[in-house]
Structure 1
Amino acid sequence: MERVVHLAGLLRRPLVGGDGEVVGRLSDLIVRLRGRDYPLVTGLVARVGGREVFLPAEQVADLEGQRITLVSPRVDLRHFERREGEVLLRADVLGHRVIDVADVELVRAYDIELEQRPDGWMVTCLDTRRPPRLRGVMGGRGGQPDWRDWKSFEPLIGHTRSARVRGPFARLGRLKPADLADLLEEANRTESHEILQTVHADPELEADVFEELEPDSQLRLLRERTDAEIAQVIARMRADDAADAINELPQARRQPVLDALPAGQRTKVLTLMGFNPSSAGGLMALDVLTATGSARVAEALRAAGEARTLQPEALTSVYLVGEEKQLLGVITLVELLQADPKAPLEDVVDRDPVRAGPDTDVEDVALLMTDYNLLTVPVVDDEDRILGVITVDDVLDAVIPEDWRRREPAPRPPHHADEPTPGPPPHDTPPHS
């Protein structure tokens, strides 16, 4: 028969010896992290005579019932001092926020479930549903406890005391950049610092995450870095997003960051900074897949396959250009796949592509995309030379009203792709350690 207790109900319970004498009261439980295994209870913190003392787990005969029974009433009265890597369930987890990996949100742990297994008592579940008695005070949902596997969460986020023994949050690196950006925008300073430390291990992912951040959050996180560190992130961002990021920096920091960028990225960023940020020129991507009229369909497809440095959202079409880069036509990749591989491009392209000038308002670009069912629109100068391409994701980002962004997000569908493989559920046959 499974033996389960809940931390909220254990706290302040009396600790009694075999003779029934009250020794003290439970103040906290100490656990040892074990990687992918459930944390194991290694001791208790008891309040005895006005001080907190340590009791090893082996001294506990029973955690169930209205009293916690000890093997012996003898207690070492030296003041409890936390050791490196120890986690205190009440002080460090209960009431603190954890990351729900499947739903990609920060939630609070309102109770902790422990189960007795052959190795001892271990943490198996968290309850993140606010108790009914707190609804009126704190707002939000409440109701019956919602016990979920400990392994569904990244607990101890922002908890520096245990960072060394926990290691990096490997599962966070598998989340989408937009999801990580959402977490950062919701996190406090300590939490966001630790999330960023994990993301920083993958520079490309770090740049993608900063691209997804709202401008105020992006600026808040960038301002805490040196100019060289900002440049390292911006160097890997898309040029249009990099230009926006630099424009948001305080005036005194813009030029030092620009000077620290690689020459190629600096040139692109300076080009885009010359346009109104809300115009087609300010939003366009400068890298475009072009071909000349003498090229054939097969060559264009091969070029698309090899264009690994181009922004994927911009790689929906191939643009036919003349000797002076004048825009002569466009063909989508789908149309290329369906065309005769030996056919010349000039025979299969649309000779009158929809286009926009660099000063075109983003709202007008959005209307063009809607009217012609486009994912991208080329941007051309007065001589019809192609300057870049504006993508639908950038247009949506610019035209979605600000109050829409603050709406409560729609419920996420069931999602298990990023979940760990936790083994048997907490109340099934215990795993071997």
Structure 2
Amino acid sequence: MLYLSQVLGGPIFDSRGERIASVNDVLVRYGDDDHPPVIGLVARFRRRNFFIPQRNIADFGESGARMSSAKLNLTPFERREGEVLLGRDVLDKQLIDVDGKRVVRVNDVQLIEAGNEWRISGADISFQGFLRRLLPKGFYGYDKPVEVIDWADVGYLATDTATATVQLKSSSDKLSRLHPVEIAQLAESLSPIHRTEVVESLDNEIAADTLEEMSTEAQARILQEMDEERAADILEEMSPDDAVDVLEEMDDDKAQELFNLMEDEERADVAELMAFDNDTAGGLMTTEFVTVPRKLSVGETITRLREMAETPNMIYYLYIVEEEGSWKLCGLISLRSLILADPEKQIEEVMRTEFRFAHPSDPAEKVAQTISEYNLLALPVVDDEGDIAGIVTVDDAMEILLARDLTSRLPRLFG
């Protein structure tokens, strides 16, 4: 086992034992391996960097490297796609530790010999790793404790090179093991450009869920920096109300461009919400909800839910309408009550006919207060004709109430 700091700057000898160059960097190839292999050394001789492939290296360790051949190819080194320089691209960079759910700094890189090759085994994030690089070998105690992250748990490496895209492809599955809230929190610890790369590495659905956990300003900045087609795909996966918020945060030309790229159905949902002012129930609601006709049985309703190709992320209630294809709201039922009801009964027999609702023009704060006072998980928004136009969910209401509560406390906090 070696650390990168122990070999950088070390001598390189030819097969006869004569020093011919020094180790400028160690090159690895990213792919599907959890522990990427070392494919060679970048050697330096008289201000020239050239490449020595792993197959031409007989020995490699703290004392340097020894070649198995006396022949050298002094062609200037050029990085190829998928290649990462450990010294330049990894040392002192931030990475996401998926297992520890944290962003950490790489102070040294641990290498391990496996068969006839060397591989990255981990990232030393301890202060001892930093000292190992600074102090001469005789002054550093190798028995001091270190903290090394298994490279298999590296979900993202904040490198500043074009190879970031390559390594992200191999690590996006690791990031996807985390909850979108956790991914968002970790991404916000990184620089804006790396935050965008993290979101880009995720599939559209997880990327949308992650963006929804960020501020509207961060959402807009990330989507504006992405490829337009990909940004539009992610917008389609977002809740319509969240998509409206982020489009309104962008400059008009960019927002119109992304809006036009959205699929017809999702674009129609977003356009419907854009007609309402932000500080009204209409501007606060989402059009993602489930309706069922009142003449269905409980069992038929449950079967229909199971067979739906797409359902809202959070189904708090089912909204009962007069007939198939109608939007005329006549009742609602919670998911819990539906599951516990007799499957043979008609849905109209178990639904609630008395319930709170809002009008699209009602002030957003009034809607939030209603949700809070009546301990609701969602509130239907009903227009003048009695049709359900959307619902306001408890998370959106809490954002309003928490912001108001903080504002009311500011005079006492700073007065």
Tell me the distance in 2 between the aligned counterparts of 1:309 and 1:37.
Answer: 34
Tell me, yes or no, if structure 1 residue 90 matches structure 2 residue 87.
yes
- The answer to whether the aligner puts 1:191 opposite 2:194 as a matched pair is yes
Cα separation, 2, equivalents of 1:9 and 1:148: 18
Deviation at 1:372, TM superposition (A): 3.0
Once residues 391 and 17 of structure 1 are traced to their aligned partners in structure 2, the CA distance between those partners, rounded to angstroms, is 70
- Whether 1:118 and 2:115 are equivalent positions in the alignment is yes
Which of 159, 162, 172 aligns to 1:160? It is 162
SS at structure 2 position matched to 1:223 = helix
Query: Using a 3 Å threshold, how does the CA distance of structure 1 residues 175 and 68 change in structure 2: closer, same or farther?
Result: same
**Equivalent pairs, count:** 388
- Structure 2 stretches lacking a partner, 5+ long: 132-143, 407-415
2:353 is matched with 351
Does residue 337 (structure 1) correspond to residue 361 (structure 2)? The answer is no
State yes or no: 1:270 paired with 2:271. yes
Q: Distance in 1 between matches of 2:69 and 2:291?
A: 82
Residue 364 and residue 38 in structure 1: after superposition, are their counterparts in 2 closer, same or farther (change >3 A)? same
| Whole-angstrom distance in 1 between the partners of 2:321 and 2:381 | 13
AA matched with 2:340: Q
Work out the CA distance in 1 between the residues paired with 2:267 and 2:36. Answer: 49
Q: Tell me: higher relative CO, structure 1 or 2? Use CA pairs within 8 A at least 6 residues apart.
A: 1
Corresponding residue of 1:138: none
Deviation at 1:126, TM superposition (A): 0.8
Inter-partner Cα distance in structure 2 for 1:91 and 1:371: 57
Distance 1:285 1:162 in 2: 36
Distance 1:163 1:152 in 2: 18
SS in 1 for 2:37: strand
Identity across the alignment (%) = 30
Query: Judging changes above 3 Å, is the alpha-carbon distance between structure 1 residues 384 and 166 closer, same or farther for their aligned structure 2 residues?
Result: closer
1:288-307 alignment, distance < 5 Å: 288-307=289-308
Identify the match of residue 4 of structure 2 among 3, 7, 32: 7
Structure 1: which 5+ residue stretches go unaligned? 135-142, 405-433
The equivalent residue for 1:68 is 64
Matching residue of 2:379:
377
Alpha-carbon distance, 1:103 to partner: 4.0
| RMSD of equivalent CA atoms | 3.8
Structure 1 residue 29, shift from structure 2 partner: 2.0
C-alpha distance 53-60 of structure 1, shift in aligned 2 (>3 A):
farther
Q: 1:124 to 1:212 in 2, by over 3 A?
A: same
Q: What is the alpha-carbon distance in structure 1 between the residues aligned to residue 184 and residue 72 of structure 2?
A: 48
Change in CA separation of 1:298 and 1:74 when aligned onto 2, cut-off 3 Å? closer
Of 124, 127, 130, the residue aligned with 2:124 is 127
Q: Could you tell which deviates more after superposition, 279-288 or 8-17?
A: 8-17
Q: What TM-score does the superposition give when structure 2 sets the normalisation length?
A: 0.77
| TM-score of the aligned structures, taking structure 1 as reference length | 0.74
What is the Cα deviation at residue 124 of structure 1? Answer: 1.0
Shift in CA distance, 68/232, structure 1 to aligned 2, threshold 3 Å: closer
Q: Is the 8 A contact 2:360 2:381 kept in 1?
A: yes
Residues 14-413 of structure 1 mapped to structure 2, 5 A cutoff:
14-15=11-12, 23-33=20-30, 35-36=32-33, 38-57=35-54, 58-64=56-62, 67-68=63-64, 70=66, 76=72, 78=74, 80-84=76-80, 85-130=82-127, 145-154=146-155, 156-158=157-159, 159-161=161-163, 163=165, 167-171=169-173, 172-188=175-191, 190-192=193-195, 194-199=197-202, 202-224=203-225, 230-313=231-314, 315-322=315-322, 325-382=327-384, 384-401=386-403
d(CA) in 1 for partners of 2:148, 2:104: 13
- Comparing 241-250 with 17-26, greater Cα deviation is found at 17-26
